[in-house]
A = this chain, B = another copy of it.
Amino acid sequence: MKKVCFGIDIGGTSIKCGLFDDSGQVLDKWELNTRTEDKGKNIIPDVATAITEKMAEKGLSKADIIGVGVGIPGPVDEAGNVLEAVNLYWDFVPLAKELEDTLKMPVKVGNDANVAALGEMWQGGGRGYQNVVMVTLGTGVGGGIIIGGKMISGTNGAAGEIGHVHVVDTIDEICNCGNKGCLEQVTSATGIVYLANKHLAKSEQESCLRGSEVSAKAVFDAVKAGDVLAMEVAEQFGNYLGNALKTIAVVVDPEVFVIGGGVSKAGEILLDYTEKHYRDNIFSACKDTKFSLAELGNDAGIYGAAKLVLS
């Protein structure tokens, strides 16, 4: 029998679990609720139970298991310690060690956005590449940096926190991080709504976006329908994101940028606007860097977590 591994993606409301073989085939996939009460003290035992029960169900022994990879919504250091995870109500948790002590198997832990980037590199939009920067455009903006096939966590677990690259000088609102002018404020789902509302307020231009609540999806649907004001919003979005990626290109010089998260459901048009501004005046060595859409959706985390113990 082929050896297998577990990929676990712990979120604030659910824990996604996957059983994989070492070629990247998912053999089983299931979810648990995240029990965050009592400072999330049940989470580790729940994960351990989920794994031992699945092993019993599948007739797997410890010798069959390569290890367990885990993604966490918070900063994680190189040793697999979670420094903090607000959504799990965790302060410092030495997760790799605690789960290893319980399961007696190798455990690796990473930040969920970084782990998702690793998943996309392995089996998603970055397949075939070793140097990947993933950008996740959701409620916020996250990211992950993969160099030579390995995830970069950073000294303080802050590598790939590209939502907090400074891109706007002229903004009054404060970012969730406490600063002003972050990429997240203008290219997340909420950031796109912010840009659209600014455009709607300052212009008389007719637009199908007027008169109802604006969403990022509505903006890109309107772009596809040829709405001029929506296209201006998309230009501004592409300008901010494309310029941030230019900077990232001269720092880590990836082969491919993979764009994921809820906003990326807009599809190729999102890449069009971003690439256009990226390629305008890019440092020449980086002019051919590829762009692709993420492919794994909410499963990127379990894939990447599994890959943590395979690489």
Contacts and interface: CB of A to CB of B under 8 A. Distances in A.
Interface residues of A, number: 41
A160 to B, nearest CB: 7
> Which 5 A-B residue pairings sit nearest by Cβ, starting from the closest?
A154-B253, A158-B285, A156-B285, A158-B253, A159-B253
Interface in A209-242: none
Contact of A156 (B158, B164, B177, B286): B286
A254 B285 contact: no
A180 B147 contact: no
Copies of this chain present in the complex amount to 2
A154 to B, nearest CB: 3
A180 B282 CA distance: 10
Nearest to A249: B158
A280 to B, nearest CB: 9
Interface in A63-95: 75
24 contacts: A75-B285, A131-B154, A145-B252, A147-B152, A152-B253, A154-B252, A155-B255, A155-B289, A158-B249, A158-B250, A159-B253, A160-B251, A161-B250, A161-B253, A165-B247, A166-B243, A166-B246, A177-B283, A177-B284, A178-B284, A247-B247, A247-B251, A251-B251, A252-B252
Contacts of A155: 131, 253-255, 289
A311 interface: no
Interface string A237-278: 000000100111111111100000000000000000000000
Contacts of A177: 283-284
A5 B156 CA distance: 34
A107 interface: no
Interface of A: 75, 131, 145, 147, 152-162, 164-166, 177-180, 243, 246-255, 281-286, 288-289
Contact of A252 (B152, B250, B255, B281): B152
B251 A165 contact: yes
A157 B283 CA distance: 12
A132 to B, nearest CB: 10
A283 B154 contact: no
Contacts of A180: 281
